[in-house]
Amino acid sequence: MAHEVVVVGSVNADLVVRVDRRPGPGETVLGSDLVTLPGGKGANQAVAAGRLGGRVGILARTGDDGNGALLREALLAAGVDVTHLLVADGPSGVALITVGPDGDNSIIVSPGANGRLTEQDVVAARELVAGAAVVSLQLEIPLVTVAAAARAAADAGARVVLNLSPAATVPSDLLALCDPLVVNEHEAAFLLPAADPSDDPATLATALLELGPRSVVITLGADGALVATRDGARTVPSPRVEPVDTTGAGDAFTAALCLRLARGDDLESAARFAVRVGAAAVLGEGAQSSYPAEGDELPS
């Protein structure tokens, strides 16, 4: 296969500022100097998988601005195939990120060129999608484009991984292609509005499987992840680390999961590797800049 992982998703410039505390409504607080870094859930996953040694391609759109050039260079530096990194008139996507003292972040995304990635772009990139072992999708691009990419991947025999972020309602026929559907606890609750907030992750996973995906992964932050199939659910603990910045850690997890699935690991084994990569990703500032490279020692 031409690529182990193909990502169809977003590329953003991350505008990051650190704060001692987040402002309340109508309040102003002082923060650190503003830093501009390459990001976007799609680009993050492509870079993370590329840095881990994967053969990775991406289908995405930047704008024709300076941020677009920054994003392209970051992907190239990670060894990602950018043949299908398209350029649209206007601004690239931007994420406004505040990072608190505990390393947790709050994010607002302005889609920019990401909103102009179309079903026709998927058709034009059909050879890229068809040549992948795993196609990774997220929801920072139009849902119709995500659905088209999922169908094209499934028709070609590729494994479809959907990270339901940001949370949105998706059609049942898209959920049925997911193997796995990757969500955090907030995204799981969005899909399961009738669920009890006190339900444990295994109960949530069982309910999610009833919606149609072939398998489910619920990320649990510092507690690792839970993987679930029709045969049952298992918790995969994360190494204990002191987080510096959690921005992009979920993308690092998903990228590592996709890469190991592409190489033939079962879901639980892939998740055991992915939680270690996710833990490594919180030890540095920013998203892509904190991702481990192939051969780096990972937390255990």
* CATH number of 206's domain: 3.40.1190.20
**300 located within any domain:** no
Give the model's pLDDT for residue 138. 97
**297 located within any domain:** no
At CA 216, angle to CA 276 and CA 14, rounded to 5? 55
Please give the distance of CA 7 from its chain centroid, rounded to a whole number: 9
Domain that holds residue 217: 3-21+32-288
* 57 assigned to a ligand binding site: no
User: 170-180 burial by CB neighbour count: b if 16+ within 10 A, else e?
Assistant: beeebbbbbbb
**118 located within any domain:** yes
**146 located within any domain:** yes
**203 located within any domain:** yes
* 245 assigned to a ligand binding site: yes
Per the structure, the count of domains in the chain is 1
Sequence-distant (6+) residues with CB within 8 A of 165 are 41, 138, 139, 140, 183, 184, 187, 250
- The residues carrying an active-site annotation are 251
Mean pLDDT of the residues in the chain:
95
- pLDDT confidence tier of residue 199, bands split at 50, 70 and 90: confident
- pLDDT confidence tier of residue 103, bands split at 50, 70 and 90: confident
User: Is residue 1 predicted with pLDDT exceeding 60?
Assistant: no
Radius of gyration of the chain (CA): 18
Q: Phi/psi of residue 192, each to 5°? A: -125, 65
User: Is residue 161 predicted with pLDDT exceeding 60?
Assistant: yes
Q: How far apart are CA 35 and CA 50, in angstroms?
A: 23
Both tokens of 37, joined, read 């870094």
Percent share of the chain, pLDDT over 70: 99
**296 located within any domain:** no
* 290 assigned to a ligand binding site: yes
* 42 assigned to a ligand binding site: yes
**78 located within any domain:** yes
As to burial, measured by CB atoms within 10 angstroms (0-12 exposed, 13-18 middle, 19+ buried), residue 214 is: middle
Give the model's pLDDT for residue 197. 66
Query: Per mean pLDDT, which range of 9-13, 14-18, 256-260, 272-276 is the poorest?
Result: 14-18
User: 5-44 burial by CB neighbour count: b if 16+ within 10 A, else e?
Assistant: bbbbbbbbbbbbebeeeeeeeeeeeeeeeeeebbbbbbbb
The pTM for the full model equals: 0.93
- pLDDT confidence tier of residue 247, bands split at 50, 70 and 90: confident
Give the model's pLDDT for residue 136. 98
Task: Please give the helix or strand (H or E) that residue 201 lies within, else none.
Answer: helix 201-209
User: Is residue 62 predicted with pLDDT exceeding 80?
Assistant: yes
**277 located within any domain:** yes
Mapped onto helix, strand or coil, the DSSP state of residue 13 is strand
